[in-house]
Chain A
Amino acid sequence: MPVLLAAIGLAALYVVMFAIGGNEDLRDPLLGIDGLLLIHAAMTVFVVIVLIRPVASIAAHAALNTAIHRVGQTIAIIALAVMVGFILLQVYFRYVQGDALNWTEEAARFGMLWMTGLMAPIAYRKGGFVAIDMLERAIAPRAAALLTLLLMGISLWVLLICFDRGWNNHVDSLSGRGASASLRLPLDWFGGERMKFRNNWQYASIFVGVMLMIVVSVELLLRQIVTLMGRGDTLPPISHEEFVGAD
């Protein structure tokens, strides 16, 4: 129960940091409070908590990640199944009905991007990103642990840049606010009017993936620091899955 509460608190902190930190427009005064001040406050709280209770904050991160990933995985596998369905529908309509559908391809790509965005953080957390780990295995354990820490730092830096550019120059951009040419939300089935998909509904997929990977990255980084301090044995292991076919 305390882990659950901590995870919820952590989620709230992340929401504040992501929502205000990522958005250039919101960094300016928000509700009368300076946005930058708010994000700095959130980050300070975050760092203080992590410093005081490192192991507990890792447990909270683990709980948060597991919960988000469970939902993400469910959506992703449904997306994969639906993608297959759309492409089969495309073949069926072209040959059997003689009337090619115009939206199946774009809809399947929509599904693929969301599948990637939601699954990639899981793959990252479980060690599924290809890396050459020869050096790490060759050098002394303590040096290897420091090297890993450095590499995780670089990864987090890359993700933070992707996060910043992803929101301000992609999702929240002119083309992001534009509408899709072929995808429509079929609201007419419920008596409404057909609504065009906005491009950023699709753009958001990778952006969401980047945000989730940042949370994963922070968890891995904290784990590595605790391991370096010699308390790695107190951490619950992350299950590593066999990765198939990623050649």
Chain B
Amino acid sequence: MLLLFLPLFLILIMIGLPVIFALLASPFALIMLEGDQRNVVAGLYRNLYSGMDSFPLMALPFFMLAGEIMNRGGITTRLVEFSQAFMGHLRGGLAHVNILSSMLFAGLSGSAVADTSALGSTLIPAMEKNGYTRKFAAAITAASSVIGPIIPPSGIMIIYAYVMGESVAALFLAGIVPGIMVGLGLMVMVRVLADKYDLPKAERIVQRDQKISKVEYWVSFALIRLNIAGLLMAIYAGMSTRIGLSVLDENGDRVHSVSLWIVFVVTYLIAHALMMYYRGQVSADFRMVCKKAVAPLQTPVIILGGILVGVFTPTEASAVAVAYALIVSFFVLRSMKVRDLSGILTRSALATSAVLLLVGAAVAFKTVVSLSYAPQILSDAILGLSDNPLILLFLINILLFVVGMFLDAGPAIIILGPILGPIFVDLGVHTVHFAIIMSVNLTVGLATPPMGLVLFVASTVSGEKVETIARAILPFLAVEVFVIFLITYIPEISMTVPYLTGFLGCGEDIGFQACINPSPALN
């Protein structure tokens, strides 16, 4: 009897019941039909509650809030100007600018929809003015904003990690390279299309005579050198044992023979020298645009740096990102007023409350999934098709893609994760690898017709019809599908970064290949 809950659930969401209620309605109905009026249903309600009562999930509202603050605080404009200075001179310049801006914005926000509405409202009119068709502008905005939840931070990865009990940090790190690959792939496609559509060639657009406040000048001056010094110090820390400047003591801790403060001062001076050299190579306007992007772009540095060094948990990193965004908007850019805050808080709270309730309902649903033997039966059915993981991964990608066409990424991941995850883990696919396949695939689904959230937002922002954008986006979707298959079949793409930073939980004695390709049914 309980087995019927999955078909019932599918029917309910297909006829349009909000997913939250469908997740609860199907188990409620079947359990009550079976005659259990009290305890199991009560247990489901308790799981709905305790599913939301979680510290890792708190990163969701915080990242949403940080993204909203940065969007309102004028940080988007700065990123666009910065991208223009770098990519504007290429064939199809503004399309490249759009993609690069999306990649940078992805490091600040964890949501594709925020990305589309923030960048679309500035870039689509600009592209139209420069001779692009509106549908092309809207399509490239929608296609590139998919990068938002792939490059960390990422809302759907937080949800996946929570529902499946994975490490948020590992998923974040695994998303970096795939996100960059999607961006580069889109840029190649723009270059290919540039000849076909005869896209305009833009001059390198560097905003002239930009002004910058004294405070921001010195903050950026110090921060950019600090970033480079930090990078150099990380390299030094990795190399020091090999070049004899540090030894490992019996506890496995590194003992440096040169004080790290001295190393810091030296690297800072090297960074300064590098910057002074670079300064001579570029124009004053270009320098100014770059300088204005330094403060906004510290957010990904703080988030990833903090998580990597182990200073904070992802949730704490998200709170620090909120504080940083507030400081930058109020004191450095001076672009926000106190009265803007209530609107920003309301929008973040509104969006996250619906998602949190969905996660709670999914946790309740998940208990029924495991009670009903559905994963075992489905797993037998899937394994009956083939026992070759490569073929199954191909099939599952198609399934995910189709689901992504109809359902948003968050709900889809919540529903399918608990069902599909265990099957592939049994087949010897690393949990983090499978998480990335699912996240990237369903995120791309946000831009696929007929039900693509990002398409709808792009349509609202541009005023172009959804169907028109959906046709114009096809070449870019092809690129994204290609990247999905690359990630699926070459686990090294996503797994190298988390492995090297030690977030996969493999000991030193287990090699890279053994770590990312665990033997079946072992992890």
Contacts and interface: CB of A to CB of B under 8 A. Distances in A.
Interface of A: 73, 76-77, 80-81, 83-84, 87-88, 90-91, 95, 105, 108-109, 112-113, 115-116, 118-120, 122-124, 126, 128-136, 147-148, 151, 154-155, 157-159, 161-162, 165-166, 168-170, 202-203, 206, 209, 241-247
B14 interface: yes
A247 B353 contact: no
Interface string B21-63: 1001100100000000010011011101100111101100110
* Central interface residue in A120, A134, A244, by most chain B CB within 10 Å: A244
Given A80-B345, A108-B58, A169-B46, A246 B354 contact: yes
B347 to A, nearest CB: 6
Contacts of A245: 64, 67, 109-111, 113-114, 155, 351
A interface: dominant SS: helix
Contacts of A246: 111, 113, 351, 354-355, 408, 410, 453
B6 interface: no
Interface residues of B, number: 81
A151 B100 CA distance: 43
A147 B38 contact: no
A84 B58 CA distance: 10
A237 B348 CA distance: 23
Contacts of A203: 49
Given A87-B319, A119-B349, A244-B68, A162 B24 contact: yes
B319 A247 contact: no
Given A90-B316, A161-B28, A247-B409, A134 B353 contact: no
Interface string B421-451: 0000000000000000000000100100011
Interface in B58-80: 58, 61-62, 64-65, 67-68
Contacts of B409: 247
A126 to B, nearest CB: 8
Given A151-B16, A245-B351, 12 more contacts: A109-B53, A113-B53, A120-B357, A124-B18, A130-B358, A131-B19, A161-B24, A170-B49, A202-B53, A244-B64, A244-B347, A247-B410
25 contacts: A80-B65, A80-B348, A81-B341, A84-B65, A87-B319, A88-B320, A90-B316, A115-B353, A123-B350, A123-B354, A126-B350, A130-B408, A131-B18, A132-B407, A133-B16, A148-B16, A154-B12, A159-B21, A162-B24, A241-B350, A242-B460, A243-B351, A245-B114, A246-B453, A247-B111
Contact of A128 (B110, B351, B406): B351
B57 to A, nearest CB: 8
A120 B316 contact: no
Given A88-B320, A112-B356, A116-B356, A165 B347 contact: no
Contact of A88 (B58, B323, B406): B323
B462 interface: no
Contacts of B360: 206
B319 A91 contact: yes
B247 to A, nearest CB: 27
A64 B109 CA distance: 36
B112 interface: yes
Contacts of B352: 115-116, 119
Contacts of B406: 132, 134
Contacts of A247: 111-113, 149, 155-156, 408-410, 443, 446, 453-454
Given A80-B61, A246-B113, A132 B13 contact: yes
B15 interface: yes
